[in-house]
Amino acid sequence: MSRHELRFRQVHLDFHTSPFIPGIGESFDKKLWQERLKMAHINSITCFSSCHHGYSYHPTEVGEMHPGLKFNLLRAQIDACHEIDVKVPIYITAGINDMIAAKEPGWRELNFEGRYAGWQPSPIKPGFKTLCFNSPYLDYLCKYIEEAARLFPDADGMFFDIISQNQCCCPWCMESMKKQGFDPEKEYDRAVFSRQVIANYMKRTTAVARSINPDMPVFHNTGLIGPGNKDLAQYFSHMELESLPTGGWGYDHYPLTAAYCRTRNLDFMGMTGKFHTSWGEFGGFKSPAALRYECCAMLANGSKCSIGDQLHPSGMLDESTCRLIGAAYAEVETKEPWCSNVDSVTEIAIVSNAGYDGLKKDPEETAEVGVSRFLLESHIPFDRIDWDDNFANYKYLIFADDFRCHDEAAARVREFIAQGGKVILSGTSLLKKESETPAFEIPAEIGGLDMTIPNFVKIAPEFAPDGITTPFVMYRPSLNIKVNGGTSLGQVLDPYFTRSYEHFCSHQHTPNKLESTGFDAGVMTGSILYFAHPVFTLYAVYGTVILKQFINKAIKAFMGADYPVITDLPSQGRVFLTEQKAEKRFICHALFATPALRGMKTDPFMPNMRATIPIEVIDDITPVYDISFEIKVPQAVTKAELAPQGTEIPFEYSNGKVKFKLDKIDCHQMVVLNY
């Protein structure tokens, strides 16, 4: 199958509609539908074949049409869209189907305690139920998909939702595990088996989705699209990265997931939502500033755009929502020529341990979140890769905090270093996976962890944060190292004692002793930079500015002339660099907005409502002015111009770096660097 190219301006139109609501689709009007799609500048919209409630929005012999629907709504939507060149992938619920769960409770997932799994396992609470892909439900689902493929051969793709398999212990899984030699009492065996079930689900459903049209685009909405899951990539035509900043993901989630997906040979899109909170929020509206920024951030990360919406049961697109989306997508439309067929330009990659053991999905490990935040706030472009990817594409690899290399991975890293590559390590990532011994040689004596917590570091002057000359606190254990070569990053100091009921001091923890422990805070050589503390986890958890400054100064010294971007853009700004090889140009994306934490955590106002949590919002866009850039690029730049404005700007190029200044950044500015 050829590489599937996505459109830039998509909407994912949820339509999970209770069977107790009448008059489904009765307000649908083809002409008005088309007018509102045009108003919103949408050129692809995902519409529903079946929803989580289990009902279909067209006649079906396999499933059951929604009792409040009197006509083929999906066919009407597809025909109306295709008349104006809008694509329509179709949505099919997979992991959740309440109608089937009610008819066939034996097909539901059971946890190892014998309780139903699901979003709401209690029979007296409202919420969807999950089904087991190892039960006969998978046969039913495949029949349904085959029917949909036959009924809608002109669909522009199939989107399968809620693709997960917990460590199910239903009778079907228990029997299969025993037959295959798995021990259901062991969590590891249950986890291995559940992943095997997911792989079988993907193989079967993808095959039937393409039974009529072999080129049918297919996407499975799952956490198993991140690091450690390359074996499943064959079942995807593209990637869709669900990441609603106000829905619990936050604004730092998408750049980290995109950093991995753009290294795969698949087109991909980001997916945010028009809601103030998250899915299913009827009457909720995100601020136009936020939606504009989120779409620009997708472009900057090399992806296409998708905005989540939910169709009212009456069947007509909401005018206010279309106007809101249209404001963002009108801007996207003007920028598309500089955002298609792009490659990431960076010499730096985070090597992920998500999926390292073949079992994790992609939980966005805390250490990797810390690395990502540090790099984003330091304006350093980066990719994210698997341990068995091609290291030769990069000059610098980051193994954060708790990534401990097994023998094969360590051998690949040593070969990378021998060929001139450089490695940044922290915490226990220096150690082997199989033992407490170093996986890599550094000029230091290595001991165990310093479990006197918290300890303190007195940073060497050349790496010290601005104005900080005394020890500062570190809330996680450091590896005891004594440097005997290279450059020490500073000294470690212990507290007088670890806080307990027997002895404590002040409100939080005990102050540091005046004398050093004799251990170092890290070491720098020509090929390895090592931090003795898990500095990236610490930054993710605590967000300490002086810790970020320490890390940044050490990395700047380590990279020297390779340091990729020097700019006076504030830390909330973001810088990404892409390349369009066919056009012989780099695109520098400069973004700036200031998310603020709004709302508060409360208990539900009444039963069966969701509790509230603080969420990140962008209320407005504040422009920044007179921002200078110095960017390392792999080709000599011959012309610099703003896009989409087409205005040439002054620049200097020498020694592999291009310098320019932007008079103004209003949310998002692209700078085209021709070579």
Check which CATH number belongs to the domain holding 20 and give it.
3.20.20.80
Sheet with strand 490-493: strands edge to edge: 472-474, 455-459, 490-493
Say if residue 402 is in the same domain as residue 530.
yes
CA distance 333 to 274: 18
Specify the pLDDT at position 365: 67
Q: Does residue 283 sit in the same domain as residue 153?
A: yes
- Residue 398's nearest CA partner among 366, 375, 415 is 375
Last residue of a domain, one of 307, 340, 373: 340
In this structure, are 559 and 573 located in the same domain? no
Average of pLDDT values for 20-30? 98
Residue percentage of the chain with pLDDT more than 70: 98
Residues 69-127 have pLDDT tens digits of: 999 999 999 999 999 999 999 999 999 999 999 999 999 999 999 999 878 778 888 88
Residue 268 has pLDDT above 60, yes or no: yes
Q: What total of structural domains would you count in the chain?
A: 3
Contact by Cβ (8 Å): 642, 671: yes
Whether residues 460 and 553 share a domain: the answer is: yes
Tokens 């570190």, residue located: 474
Q: What is the mean pLDDT of residues 648-664?
A: 98
In a domain, 452, yes or no: yes
Give a yes or no: residue 104 inside a domain: no
Q: Same domain for 156 and 236?
A: yes
Which CATH number is 473's domain given? Answer: 3.40.50.880
- Residue 641 CA to residue 356 CA, distance in Å, equals 43
pLDDT on residue 407: 92
Contact 338, 302 (CB under 8 A): no
Whose tokens are 């000029």? That residue is 443
Q: Are 631 and 531 in a shared domain?
A: no
Domain membership of residue 107 (yes or no) is no
54 & 70 share domain:
yes
CA distances (Å), origin 260, targets 159, 264, 350, 361, 362: 21, 7, 9, 13, 11
- What are 210-219's pLDDT values in tens digits? 999 999 999 9
Domain containing residue 637: 566-674
The H or E element that residue 444 is part of is: strand 444-450
Residue 556 included in any domain: yes
* Residue pLDDT, tens place only, 592-635: 999 999 999 888 888 878 888 888 999 999 999 999 999 999 99
Name the average pLDDT for the chain: 95
Overall average pLDDT of the 315-339 stretch: 98
The answer to whether residue 203 is domain-embedded is: no
pLDDT at 486 exceeding the cut of 70: yes
* 559 and 570 assigned to the same domain: no
Rounded to an integer, the average pLDDT of 404-426 is 96
- Residue linked to tokens 């509102």: 36
Q: Which of 340, 360, 376 is the last residue of a domain?
A: 340
Are residues 478 and 615 both part of a single domain? no
CA nearest 117: which of 12, 190, 175, 13? 190
Under a CB-based contact definition with an 8 Å cutoff, are residues 237 and 157 in contact?
yes
- Does 538 lie in the same domain as 423? yes
In a domain, residue 226? The reply is yes
Q: Could you tell me the pLDDT band of residue 356, with boundaries at 50, 70 and 90?
A: low
Shared domain for 360 and 422, answered yes or no, is yes
Residue that finishes a domain, picked among 315, 340, 365: 340
pLDDT score at 362? 43
* 506 has pLDDT over 60: yes
The answer to the question of residue 522 being in a domain is: yes
Considering the entire predicted model, what is its pTM? 0.95
The pLDDT assigned to 603 comes to 84
Judge whether 575 and 590 are in contact, CB under 8 Å.
Answer: yes
Same domain, 139 and 226: yes
Q: Is residue 146 part of a domain?
A: yes
Mean pLDDT of 547-571: 97
Amino acid letter for position 502: E
Percent share of the chain, pLDDT over 90:
90
Q: Is the pLDDT of residue 353 over 90?
A: no
